[in-house]
Structures are given as C-alpha cells and as structure tokens.
Chain A
Amino acid sequence: MRTKILEAVNITVIYPNGVRANDNISISVNEGEILGLLGENGAGKTTLVKVISGIIKPTKGEILLYGKEVEFNSYRDALKSGIYYLSQNPQLIEGLTVLEDIGLTLTLAGKSMSRGSIEQYVASIASKYNLKVDLKALSDNLSVGERQRIELIKPILLDSKIIILDEPTTHMSPLEIESLYSMLRDLAGKGKSIIFITHKIREATSVSDRIIVMRKGKISGIIERDKFDREVLLNLMFESNNTINKLGLRYAKPREYKSNILEVRELWVKGDYGDLALRGINLSVGTSEIVGVAGIAGNGQRELFETLVGLRKPIRGSIIFNNVDVTSSSPRDRIKLGLAIVPEDRLGWALVPGLNIVSNIIFALTNVDSTLKSYIIDWGMAWRIAKEALEIVPIQADSLNTSVESLSGGNMQRLILARELSRKPRLIIAMNPTSGLDYVTSINVKQVLIDYASRGVGILLISEDLDELIEVSDRVLVMNRGAIVGEFMRPYSLENIAKLMIS
C-alpha cells in the first residue's frame, strides 16, 4: 500500500498570451514509485513539474505535501520541502567551481555543509552510482555529460524525497541510460519518488511504475505498469490514430546527385574557451541530397553551424561552396552565393523581435539581393516582395504589420523558411529545425525540406532528434567530440548510430 506523498490538485496555468499550458490537472505521486510523465513537445509536462517545484506559480490549484497544503514562492521553498528539479539542459553557474555550485544548492535548501564534508559525501556517492565528477573544475568548461552527473548528485546529497527529471536521457548513451535506470530503481527502493519526463514511449515503459500521459495541457490517461501498451499510449499522446497515418511524409521520386554543392575539408575550429571544437571535419553535400548530422548536443554542432555560416573562422581547413572557396568569406558573401540558414534560435538570430513581418523578410534580403539596393527603402516594393515570399510557405498572421514575436513558434519557423527560400538558395543549413514545434508543424517543415531537395537544393540538417534525421536524410553523419566518426546510408540502424554517438 503506497502512501501519497504529493498531490497536485486542479492545477491550471494560463500564460499572459492566453495559452493554457496546464488545464485543470490533478495528479498524485506515491512514495517509492517511479512515475513516468509522457507527452509530446508542448504538452505541458515541464510546466506542470515547474509548478510542483515552485518555479512557476499556477493560475489556479494547490499542491499538497503529505496531505497538507503548501505554497511555494520559489524553487527554494520546494527544495527545502524535499523536491528537486533537474531541467532538460542543466547549466551550472559559470565562474564558480563545481564544489561551490553544489554547496550553493545545499545552502539554499537549508542544508549547508563545510567544503570538506561535501568532498567526502560526493566521493562516496560518485563511487556508488558511477557518477564521477571533478569538484575543483570551473563550471564553464564542463561537458554536457559532466553537468548532468553533477545535477544527479545533488538530490542524493540533499536526500530529496521527490526527484523530478526532465528529459534526462537526451544527452546520454544507452549505457549511461541503463546506469540511470538502475540508480532510479535503487532510489525508489529507498522510498524516494521519481517523476521521469520523456516524450519517448520506449523510455517511459522501461523504467516507470505508472505512466501519466499528457496532451495539450490536460491529462489524457493514467496507466499502471501491468497495462503498458504501446498502441494505447500512442493514442493517448496524440489526437487520434488517424492523424499519424495521414501525416506521413511524401517522398519525391528518387533523386540524382549531380555534384557537390558543399565540400568541407579538414576543418579545424577553436571553441569559445580556447579548446578545439572541430577536429578535422570532412563532409560533403550534393545537390538534391539531404545530409543529416547526428550527435549529442555539445559535440561541436553549434560551432560547425557557425563556421559554415561564416560567423566563426577556422584555424585550418577549407570550405568550398558552389565551387568557390568561402573559407574566409563573410556570411553575407556566402548568402549571396546561395546559402540559406535556419538557425536554432528563431527570435534573436533568424528573426528580429520588435519588427514586423515585412521588415523581418526584407532585412535578410537588402544586403544580398539586388532589388533593394538603394539607400532609401521603397516600402511598397518591400511589401510586395514579402507577400511573394510568403506564397512559398504561408503563415497564419493577422496582417503583415504584426510584430514577429507574437507569432507562434510554428509560424515563426514557416516565416524563416519562406524568407530563406525566396532567395532561391542552393544549400540550406538547418539546425534543430523542428525543436519546440508541435507534431503537425514538424511534418510541415520536414516536407518543405524534402520538396526542395527534390528540386536540386542540397540540405545539411544538424539535429539532436535522431528519429527526424533517420526519417529525412539520404545519409547520416555522426559527430562526436568535434569529429565525424561515422557515416551511414539507408537503411539506418538506430542502434549503430547511437553507439557511435557516445563512444
């Protein structure tokens, strides 16, 4: 008989823009159980656990701890009450040593210890659960894996009763994932409760005692371990069975590769901290080819993207684009030659907040297109150009004068694509193009990429979403620690690719 340790009652979270991230949700967490929280991107899982952790204040609803109502004014309150939240991409505060960072969390929870004690405890935890960390290192220089290990040590040090893990496996190898599962089972056995958030059914079923499925801000189902069924869970996650079948990707006829539109030879690039981010990268993208780059985030993908765009200069090697050596060319020159860019940060890199849709289209054209060359802007022509661009990939907006930040993520991405494609590019470099997008828009985006590939455009797709890469790419390269460690052709073996991602 399990005791209810935590209860969330009628939690509703409405954001200022009207979105209902959580709609009247009630869940309970039992002592010593691993609760899987399953749902696709944007279903509201993170919001819910942030409410439980005191990071977000719900518009309505209460939290009960051991049957008593509690009010969390900040994450600190939750920490003190024994709740720990591990976010998706954990960051440590730069400028501090790992020891200081850990000690800080302890102090906040009211359990400050001397530096010596911390060192002792961490050593014992590290050996028990296979979580090696260097306490003296500066927080800046850590790899994703190290950061994650540190974040996993903290709740154990704190002896937290409820540990919430938000998509913890995104940066983990299959081996590390197994380690994690056994650690979680061990903790659960000791009476700790775990909330495990994931969008992968496979993971949820592997480790949870119970699965709560969320969809569009509501709970769509609660399933016990003995009734786990992939079909059932899939149905609970998505609107209806049919949607998935209808929205398959349509592939064009087999494509011919004429020549290489992009060639990267022996590229060596320095990272932000003087380390080597890219070591001797060699890759090529042909016309009509979609080349996927897989890898755990933090292995040089960002630096690769920046170098190919021209925002970072390599120390060695060359980049040949459209038969022109662009290694030392500016981003502008590359765009003029036919490069299209779809970066990960939509607002702030691809789009300019505070400006309207028209401005956001033409600003990317004025310096590279001959039509808007004059010093004085002809806004009439600008509007016409914008409208033409939007015929390529339509978006939903009240008017072209609306400010771009009020658009949804999906519309922003469509806008970016429309704009980039209006320049009739020869190569598209995209990074995590479907991150944060709902299922339908993701399909939309992937379809656009496939269509353009069939028309002769080369596409370099850098993504953390392995499923997406496998769906869409003609070839998949694997990046690990700044180098290309493998190349795969169809048919893809997920396991083999994943193995190379972590070695």
Chain B
Amino acid sequence: MVDLSLLLRILSNAIPIMLSAYGELLVERSGRVNLGVDGIMALGASISVLVSAITGNTMLGLISGLATGLAASILYIIPVIVFRVDQVATGLLLVFLAWGLADLIASIGYRVSPSIPIGSLQYNILALITVIIPLILWLLMYKTWIGVEIRAIGYNEILARERGLRVDTIRAIMLLIGGALAGLSGSYMALTLYNGKYFTGITGGWGWLAIGSVILGYWHPVGVAVAAYSIGLILTLRPYLEAMGLGPLSISTPYIMVILSLIIAAYISRSPRFKPPRIL
C-alpha cells in the first residue's frame, strides 16, 4: 500500500534537486559542467526571501530567484565561455562567491517573509513544471535538430567547432537556463521548505546532489528525473535513519550515493553504445 502523502513529501524534497538537475543536464549535454549550482541556489534563496519580504508577494520572490540565477550564471559564462578560464575553477569560485554574497545580502535584514506552503497554487504549479520538464527535454534532445546540435557539441567540441556548430552560443544559453533553474530551485527551498527563511548553509549541499543526479541519471532527462527523485527519497528518509542510531552514516547517505553513481557511470561509459557527453 503506497502512501500518497509520503510520495508527495518526497516530491517536495526532490523538487529543488530536480530543478537544478535539469538545468545542469542541459549544461552537461552541451559539454560543460557548472559546479557553481549550489552557490546559485543559495543566492537565489537569499534574494527571493528579501524580495518576498519587501513586496509581500511570493510569486515575485520566485521570479526574482529565477532572475538571480540567470544573472549569476553570467559570472560563469564570461570567464569560461568568453575568456576560456578553467571551468572547474570558475564553478567552485562561483560557489564560494555566491555563498558569501548570499549571506552578505541576508545580513541586511533577516525578515521572515510570507511562505509558499505545500499545496498552495504556486507549489502545485512548480510541482507540475518539475514533472513536465523532463518530457520537454526529451523531445528537445532527441527529436529536434537543435537537440542533435547540443548533443554533438557535448560529444566532440573540436569537431563541432570545425563544422561550424554554434558551440559558444548554445553553451551560453544552456548555462543561462541552468542558472535560472538553479536560482528557482534555491528560492523554492527558502520559500517552501524552510517556510520563508534564509540562513547560512540553507542549501545543505543539495546543489552537489543535483550534479550527482545528472550522473546517476546518466544524462538522460527521464533518468535524471528518476535519479533526483531517488535522492529526494533518501533525503526524506534521513531523519528516520538517524533515529535508528546510524549516526553520521545516515547524514552521509546522499553523498555516498553520489560517489556510488560516479562509479556506476564510469562503468557504464566503457561500453561504446552508451556514450556520455565529454564534460571535462
């Protein structure tokens, strides 16, 4: 007998991971990896709380989170796409930068804003979007020529450039979308999961779990959706595991899961039929 409310609770935890993961999926399919996702989420969270508190409107809060993510991704796009700076370094730097800025902005005024409770209209819209996006992504990547172009860039950048594919443009667009989704994800976390509060470390490292989901889902939209949901499952079960006395092991389960998915993905990628995009 499956408990629907449990499934929904898992979903509410999985939503931020799924949103960020979809964005990162697009980015990685185009051959880049944005390690800054966790930071963008934090920044989105911080600013959305601020905007919600000032305007009293949580919808504006969500939108501002999305916009923040869009703007933050520019801090990645300019160094990496334009100036060819190392993407790993830029991504990590972005995380630290964004964490610090998020805290700095929050220090202006900690105001508990109106929140988005589970079951409200905005929540339902978000939940619906989260489920529909993988279908849209699947159609895009496998049924349109743009999708072929995106995948081609991800498989072989050098050849893609020679052939005249729009490598930089497409990557920039993917990064913008990824940033927007990460920002949205962060604002969801603040406004829904934490009832309209922002605090240092609000993301709990969930941005990294989103990146892990992309790998666990083996870069396929439906796979990523399932993977992110599973991680949501583990996160929801975490307090139960803790109560069972597993101590630090229970807290670490999601991170261990990411490590496991790295191993599994590496194993699968040895077979030529299942080629992953070349990210690094």
Contact = CB atoms under 8 A, between A and B. Distances in A.
Interface of A: 54-55, 74-79, 87, 91-96, 100-101, 103-105, 107-108, 112, 138, 140-141, 273-274
A96 B162 contact: no
A118 to B, nearest CB: 11
B141 to A, nearest CB: 11
B84 interface: no
Given A103-B148, A104-B145, A108-B165, A93 B272 contact: no
B159 interface: yes
A100 B159 CA distance: 15
Contacts of B152: 93, 95-96, 100-101, 104
B145 A93 contact: no
B55 interface: no
A74 B160 CA distance: 12
Contacts of A274: 272
A75 B148 contact: no
14 contacts: A54-B164, A75-B163, A75-B164, A79-B164, A93-B160, A95-B152, A96-B155, A100-B152, A104-B152, A104-B165, A107-B145, A108-B164, A108-B165, A138-B273
Given A91-B156, A104-B165, A138-B272, 8 more contacts: A75-B163, A77-B164, A79-B164, A94-B155, A96-B151, A105-B163, A107-B148, A274-B272
B269 to A, nearest CB: 11
Residue of B159, B163, B165, B275 with highest tally of chain A CB at under 10 A: B163
A96 B148 contact: yes
Nearest to A274: B272
Contacts, number: 65
Nearest to A112: B145
Interface residues of B, number: 20
Contacts of A140: 272, 275
Interface of B: 145-146, 148-149, 151-152, 154-156, 159-160, 162-166, 272-273, 275, 277
Nearest to B165: A108
A449 B146 CA distance: 52
A203 to B, nearest CB: 24
A75 B272 contact: no
Contacts of A105: 163
A74 B165 CA distance: 9
B155 A93 contact: yes
B151 A75 contact: no
Nearest to A272: B272
A383 B38 CA distance: 50
B158 to A, nearest CB: 9
Nearest to A273: B272
A54 B164 CA distance: 9
A151 to B, nearest CB: 11
